[in-house]
Chains A and B, each alone.
Chain A
Amino acid sequence: MSNLNTVLPPVSERSNILRWMRRNLFGSWYDALLTILGALIAYWAVRGFLTWVFTVAEWEVVSTNMRLLMIGQYPLEHSDRLWVWLGFLVFLSGNSIGIWARRSRFAVVLLLIPALLALFPFGDSPRQWLILLCIAGLVGWGFGRARPDVLKRSVIAGWVISLPVIILLTHGLSESESGFMPIVRTNLWGGLLLTFLLTVVGILFSFPIGVLLALGRRSELPIIRWFSVGYIEIVRGVPLITILFMAQLMLPLFLPTGWTVDRVVRAMVGITLFSAAYLAENVRGGLQAIPRGQFEAAHALGLNGFQTMTFVILPQALRLIIPILVGQFIAVFKDTSLVAIVGLLDLVGIAKTVLAQPEFLGLQREVYAFISLIFWVLSYGMSYLSQQLEERLGVGKR
């Protein structure tokens, strides 16, 4: 070793593109090789994809059948009802953003999405509705921002009643065709509408069952614990499709003679029972993360077991697992597509109907690529949104 006392000047670390490339792309000979290989793959894939999208693919099949893909065979004359509840949801979202994410510019941009969609060639009526949706969202946002304290309660109440409102508006009220809001039978529900309803109902109803199962699994009472463990492990050990088949074929057998259950409701029951087992495991994870001291403190304050759970443990545990719950929501959303196999006409099931039209034979790639796009955008959007919200609100951290 030479003279250790020589002080070398610090290495200059100026960032320029060449140095960056040298470090990140051409560090060594195999790095260079990988870079070139990767660039070739990327070039080939992007070029192939773009060529297909812009020159080969025939997108009329999607634009012509947009209504089928979105709402299935839901009668067009009643589709205004769907727009109304969508407007209600957008209004509530705008309100919530105004109240809880006031600073977020990103969230406000979200409210402009309907207006953006209106630029696509969807026809006149949907375009007007989309613009109305955008206005509803922005108005809601303005209200929320102006009067956050007054509106908080009503917004929460709005979210609570939103599911009944959605179901009511979609299903209708009067038996006669001429009456107020005539009933639309569930066999006409389809497309993205059905996928959405199955997801929301599945998640909402599986939530209480999942929490109960998680508590049961941690219970000190052996029979309750065994029952919960048995349920959770059996459901998690079999594919969703077997549960859906069970719900379709065996549920009618389980009920007393004369009782009939709608096919869509059967699918909802199947998805709920399936999702509950997975949710239970997530909730259990949250429960396990709560330190013993919390139980002991609640006990010392004189709370009984039920009070300890509802007021001390569960609020903390559920808050901890919000990111995981969003993941679960996305998983259920993707899994609902399996109802197509038992013959429901959801987003995937309706594709067969679309492809059976004689003028669109052989366009499977276009149709399924479009459906994949919808799934991708919605799933990715949800996970991105939840990440943003977690960061902003500090959810999941304590």
Chain B
Amino acid sequence: MSRDEQQKTTIPFWRDERILRFLGQIVFVLFVLFVGALIYQNMKAGLAKQGITLSYSFFNGVSGFDIAETAFPYDRNSTYWQAFLVGLANTLSVGVVGIVFATILGVILGVARLSTNFIINRLAAFYLELIRNLSLLVFLIFWYLGVFLKLPRVKEAIIWPGDIILTNRGVGIPWGIPTASFPTFRLILIFGLILAVIVFFALRAYGQRTGRAPLTLLWSILTFILVGLLGWIILPEKPLTLDLPLVKGLNLSGGKILSPEFMALTSGLVLYTAAFIGEVVRAGIQSVSKGQVEASRALGLNAFQTLRLVVFPQALRVIIPPLTSQYLNLVKNSSLAIAVGYPDVFYVSNTIQNQTGRAVEMISLVMVTYLAISLFTSLLMNWYNQRIKLVER
């Protein structure tokens, strides 16, 4: 066989793997498109029968329902769009408060789980095993119906030290009310923040130049607090006056009143997620090999320095990715607010959908919202993870 002939004998196209792959994908795309078109057609026909066309124009209509907790002015004459935003703000506030407290409690639990103290260790282990095998929905409902709604009536309110009032109408906590000098104070705080950032970068540069490791974060936080304190003292009128919650007739007034719904949702989410974060933290700390600790002690670092400079940075690398998914879980689980009646974005959307019959629009909008929140959180955490991860050759 000559060389020319050899080149001419090509594989027939029905056995050429490249073409087969290409064709296979085309068939797949056509199949997906076909199913999609079928679904779309059915949906359109079904909606047409109900006299509905897909559009979001109804969103500018007047909502006509009240929302119990609003972060900004809203009433029944506002639009659906504003109602949706109120719900979104509530979801975000539950998410942020939940993440902060769940992280604190979770780290405490994770460290306690590794404690050499027998009782502390067992208590943490018991808590983790108890919580991790419960259903979150039942847990939340229990907190709402079984704890916060079972608190005494306002007349027989339980008062805890620190002026915390517990009633079945909500929990009142002391809260600061801004006075006339508050705008100035806010400027001072912003100045303090800028100064803290400057201190942070200066100390880090100093650390990189000299090879010492100053307590960067601690000093910058101290700077911020110091500026804030100075501002507080210098201003002639105090920027915030303390407002204590009071029992007034059949209601609570003054201070900040946290509704039973909010309390049940956040405390349930925090206590539940903290157990999972505790496991993550424990696994992270345990992943740092004993040799690292021994080596750093041999180099003359004390226990605190070992923790700060050797164990913690290495543990963090293991902790961050699963911690991210726990944060995402917390935000997604906050949609269970509907079970305790807290008006988060899902609850509000559900109300809108019940009123207007716009199931397709509302469900897709809610899904996109949660996707966006998830994406944003994981982008933030991935950016942080990139910064702390091991630099390999």
Contacts and interface: CB of A to CB of B under 8 A. Distances in A.
A220 B46 CA distance: 39
B129 A254 contact: no
Interface SS of chain B: helix
A85 interface: no
B159 interface: no
B296 to A, nearest CB: 21
B117 A25 contact: yes
B158 to A, nearest CB: 15
B198 interface: no
Nearest to A38: B119
A27 B117 contact: yes
B388 to A, nearest CB: 23
A221 B25 CA distance: 7
Interface string A352-388: 0000000000001100110110011001100100000
A24 interface: yes
A241 B115 CA distance: 38
B42 A38 contact: no
Given A223-B25, A223-B28, A341-B338, A34 B141 contact: no
Given A221-B21, A365-B146, A250 B363 contact: yes
Interface in B250-265: none
Contact of A238 (B47, B116, B150, B371): B371
A375 B139 CA distance: 11
B367 to A, nearest CB: 5
B146 A238 contact: no
- Taking each of A236, A237, A335, A340, which has the highest tally of chain B beta carbons within 10 Å of its own beta carbon? A237
A289 B136 CA distance: 32
A48 interface: no
Contact of B42 (A42, A257, A335, A375): A257
Given A227-B28, A242-B335, A256-B42, A340 B119 contact: no
Given A242-B363, A257-B42, A376-B130, A334 B119 contact: no
Given A238-B332, A253-B360, A376-B130, A368 B32 contact: no
A250 B359 contact: yes
Interface in B72-105: none
A367 to B, nearest CB: 9
B194 interface: no
Contacts of B359: 245, 249-250, 253
B119 A42 contact: yes
B138 interface: yes
Contacts of A254: 39, 42-43
Contacts of A224: 25, 28
B117 A368 contact: no
Interface in B354-393: 359-360, 363, 366-367, 370-371, 374-375
Given A31-B117, A237-B370, A38 B141 contact: no
B306 interface: no
A380 B133 contact: yes
Contacts of A253: 42-43, 46-47, 359-360
A255 B42 CA distance: 6
Contact of B46 (A222, A242, A257): A257
A239 B137 contact: no
A241 B336 CA distance: 8
Contacts of A380: 129, 133
B133 A364 contact: no
Contacts of B332: 238-240
A27 B116 contact: yes
A41 B124 CA distance: 12
A229 to B, nearest CB: 14
A34 B120 contact: yes
B29 interface: yes
B135 A242 contact: no
B339 interface: yes
Contacts of B46: 252-253, 257
Contact of B142 (A25, A240, A257, A365): A365
B333 interface: yes
A279 interface: no
B142 A239 contact: no
A372 B119 contact: no
B145 A242 contact: no
A369 B142 contact: yes
Contacts of B185: none
Contacts of A35: 117-120
- Taking each of A227, A240, A254, which has the highest tally of chain B beta carbons within 10 Å of its own beta carbon? A254
B366 A242 contact: yes
B31 to A, nearest CB: 11
Contact of A241 (B116, B119, B346, B371): B346
B118 A25 contact: yes
Given A223-B25, A224-B28, A368-B145, A242 B370 contact: yes
A252 B115 CA distance: 54
A234 B137 CA distance: 23
A238 B117 contact: no
B142 A348 contact: no
A372 B117 contact: no
Contact of A239 (B115, B134, B135, B370): B370
A170 B141 CA distance: 30
Contact of A338 (B29, B336, B371): B336
A249 B363 contact: yes
B363 A41 contact: no
A188 interface: no
Given A224-B28, A253-B43, A364-B146, A24 B370 contact: no
A340 to B, nearest CB: 7
23 contacts: A25-B117, A38-B117, A42-B119, A237-B371, A237-B375, A239-B332, A239-B370, A242-B363, A249-B353, A249-B363, A250-B363, A256-B42, A337-B135, A337-B138, A340-B137, A348-B135, A351-B141, A368-B138, A368-B146, A369-B142, A375-B134, A375-B135, A376-B133
Given A368-B141, A368-B142, A383-B133, 9 more contacts: A34-B120, A35-B119, A39-B119, A239-B333, A239-B336, A250-B359, A255-B42, A257-B46, A364-B141
